[in-house]
Amino acid sequence: ALERQIPHEMVLLDLYEALSSLDELTGEVVTEDILDRIFSTFCIGK
């Protein structure tokens, strides 16, 4: 993503979708703490 200069927000959206898909397969729930930590790394919506 960095080499292609893809915006971090777009990469994070893909990661979130991947986590959601894995969530459905495993029955696990991605906690808000994990998502908060991921999204707090980047200035999204600021």
**What is the pLDDT, as a whole number, of residue 38?**
76
Is 31 a domain residue?
Answer: yes
Q: How confident is the model over 1-29, as pLDDT tens digits?
A: 667 888 888 888 888 888 888 887 887 76
Top pLDDT among 30 and 8 is at 8
Is 1 a domain residue?
Answer: no
Q: Could you tell me the sign of the dihedral formed by the alpha carbons of 29, 17, 14, 36, in that order?
A: negative
Is 24 a domain residue?
Answer: yes
Q: State the pTM of this model.
A: 0.50
Is 14 a domain residue?
Answer: yes
Is 33 a domain residue?
Answer: yes
Q: Number of structural domains, the chain?
A: 1
Is 45 a domain residue?
Answer: no
Is 2 a domain residue?
Answer: no
**What is the pLDDT, as a whole number, of residue 2?**
64
Domain of 33 in residue numbering reads as: 8-40
CA distance to 3, 8, 9, 14, 36, per residue, from 29 (Å):
32, 24, 22, 17, 14
